[in-house]
């Protein structure tokens, strides 16, 4: 091979060197650059598709929550708020309907009661608190929230009927 290379003229060596450089550029272009740009475009399209699906699911969830029985709770039909055990049971039912899991429920004999949520999504928790105050006529007397693992929160909420 060495003898063959030495036997070539300067012009032939230049042509072979140029052909090798062109071949190297083609291998890099079609073997590295093109697959990377295609993968990037596919990832962008997958992200856009996922974003569209998420937006659609959020719209459907909002529509479902707007039509939920919570908005037609007994306390809303005549403009009065619930009281006592009826209020307590409606608050716990609405928490479960909002996707919150109650870890502990304390108190509530006609007065304020506490709900403890160990692994709650903060958005669901705030949505539910708004529902308690607007739809059920309740009031949050005291609340404490701590960060929990996996982007969740631990919350203790003291709720009273009628906003008193």
Model pTM score? 0.50
Half-sphere exposure of 3 (CA within 13 A, CB side): 0
- 127-144 confidence digits (pLDDT tens): 889 888 888 888 888 999
Helix axes 122-134, 84-97, angle to 10 degrees: 150
- 102-133 confidence digits (pLDDT tens): 999 888 666 788 999 998 888 888 888 988 88
């Amino acid at each position: 091979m060495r003898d063959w290379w030495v036997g070539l003229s300067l012009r032939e060596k230049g042509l072979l060197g140029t052909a090798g450089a062109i071949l190297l550029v083609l291998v890099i272009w079609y073997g590295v650059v093109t697959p990377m740009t295609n993968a990037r475009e596919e990832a962008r399209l997958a992200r856009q598709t996922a974003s569209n699906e998420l937006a659609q699911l959020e719209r459907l969830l909002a529509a479902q929550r707007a039509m939920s029985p919570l908005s037609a709770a007994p306390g809303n039909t005549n403009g009065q708020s619930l009281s006592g055990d009826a209020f307590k049971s409606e608050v716990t039912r609405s928490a479960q309907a909002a996707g919150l899991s109650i870890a502990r429920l304390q108190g509530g004999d006609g007065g304020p009661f506490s709900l403890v949520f160990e692994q709650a999504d903060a958005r669901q928790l705030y949505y539910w608190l708004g529902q308690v105050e607007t739809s059920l006529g309740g009031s949050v007397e005291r609340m404490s929230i701590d960060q929990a693992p996996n982007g969740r929160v631990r919350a203790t909420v003291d709720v009273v009927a009628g906003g008193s």
